[in-house]
Chain A
Amino acid sequence: MNLDWSVVWANAGPLAQGTALTVVLAVATMAIAIPGGILLALMRLSGSRLLSGASASFTELFRNLPLILVIYAAYYIMPITLDVAFSPFVTGLVALSLNVAAYNGETFRAGIASIRKGQSEAALALGMSRWQTMRDIVLPQAVRRVLPVLASTWVSLFKDTSLVSVIAVSELAYTSMRIRSQTFRVLEMLTAMAVIYWALGYPQAKLVDWMNRRFGVSE
């Protein structure tokens, strides 16, 4: 087999841009999906049948559809039904955020449920409102408790961003594939892509392990 690694170095610029876009996409998705997940969890636990039902429907819809289908749907259906024209990047961001928010919603719900009732009773007994109790007492503890789970979701998300390459978002996967089809250097480009994803993902996974040890046990 004849390998020519120079194709990787020759395309270092586009690969670096693709990598940067992957990071930006993952960060932006989490920045939307964390507040979104908290909102979904609060709606689910609100006691209002309407809010709770809406949250549950959203969660079960986006948790149980393949992400790639959601991405295609956002790309083809959203412009028609909502009459909006987003760039591929924003379209990918919307699809990823819907998916990750659904997962985060369940994560926060479990975290909130894991805080024992006595904590909110102590806050209520001081005269706090239900909202103050949630905001000041329950949520801060719940967030700390689910930090390792959020970090795992983050690591998955980081790799799943590659799926938006199907709608031509020029992140790392799309860029690598584009160079591959222009140069026919399949093995070289796949290897380069693997090395970059792994080199970025491995420290994150290690960080998750550390967070599990640091935050996983409490009380």
Chain B
Amino acid sequence: MSRKGHDAGQPAVLDYRAVRKQFGSFTALAGVSMQVHRTEVVCLIGPSGSGKSTLLRCTNGLETIDGGEILLDGAALPRDPRGMRAMRRRMGMVFQNFELFPHKTALGNVASGPLTVLRLSRDEAEQRAAALLEKVGLADKAASYPSNLSGGQQQRVAIARALAMQPEVMLFDEPTSALDPETIGEVLNVMKTLAEEGMTMVVVTHEMSFARRVADQVVVFERGQIIEQGPPEQIFDAPLVERTRDFLSHLGWAG
């Protein structure tokens, strides 16, 4: 059961059907099927190299898939350049290493999508960017360059940059893994607010307490496969699969 309770009649925003991905002889995804519904927060957890990030990167076409299909609102992901660009506008992505553009200010980073891709006027793009910086609590850092921001601040700018495209889905690829412990909280708070506002989110994370509190669905990966998925109560309190329990106890998760 989804916490927010999605309408079963609605098609999934993202529908993964037996997705396979191969890197040479290494099988990154060995037939992954799952669905993400509108306003849902889905957390992908599991050991490193289990395929979580690869699935995310396949979702917006940064990696191509070798088998199966991924449907966005019921339509297969396009493969032509123009179609891919249109598809990527509908998904925001946040990276582990922030990947802010170092030659642009915080405001310039957030405005870059609207300016270049949506071709808004500079005024409109910067107004939108300023509003989003305000939203992530960094209105006073608009003129700062990334090198003058802390990791947590950079990641919040990166979230604002993705939001500036007004995406339908946000993809988070280990957004707090590169952060100092004291700045993790500020990023997770922004993400939690987004979730409460009804943003559809797919989050690859090692922050189990975040997954526990915010996720509607938790999906456990191992060796390119989903070994268990369900609401956080199930995964964290009463996992049905032994290996889920092993993984969580490995992390020191005590419920």
Contact = CB atoms under 8 A, between A and B. Distances in A.
A120 B97 CA distance: 13
A115 to B, nearest CB: 10
Contacts of A123: 101, 112
A121 B63 CA distance: 10
B103 interface: yes
B238 interface: no
Contacts of B103: 140-141, 144
B95 interface: yes
A118 B116 CA distance: 18
A127 B113 contact: yes
A121 B95 contact: yes
| B contact residues, range | 20 to 34
A132 B117 contact: yes
Given A127-B117, A129-B81, A141 B112 contact: no
B135 interface: no
A202 B226 CA distance: 65
Nearest to B102: A141
B88 A126 contact: yes
Nearest to B62: A121
A209 interface: no
B161 interface: yes
A136 B116 contact: yes
Contact of B81 (A118, A121, A130, A144): A130
A126 B99 contact: no
A219 B102 contact: yes
B101 A128 contact: no
Contacts of B217: none
B165 interface: yes
B95 A127 contact: no
Interface of A: 118-119, 121-130, 132, 136-137, 140-141, 144, 218-219
6 contacts: A119-B101, A123-B112, A126-B113, A127-B89, A137-B101, A141-B101
> 7 closest pairs, A vs B, by CB?
A122-B99, A127-B89, A126-B113, A125-B93, A127-B117, A127-B88, A118-B99
Given A123-B112, A125-B62, A129-B81, 18 more contacts: A118-B97, A118-B99, A119-B99, A121-B95, A122-B95, A122-B101, A124-B62, A125-B93, A126-B89, A126-B113, A126-B117, A127-B85, A127-B86, A127-B165, A128-B85, A128-B113, A129-B85, A218-B102
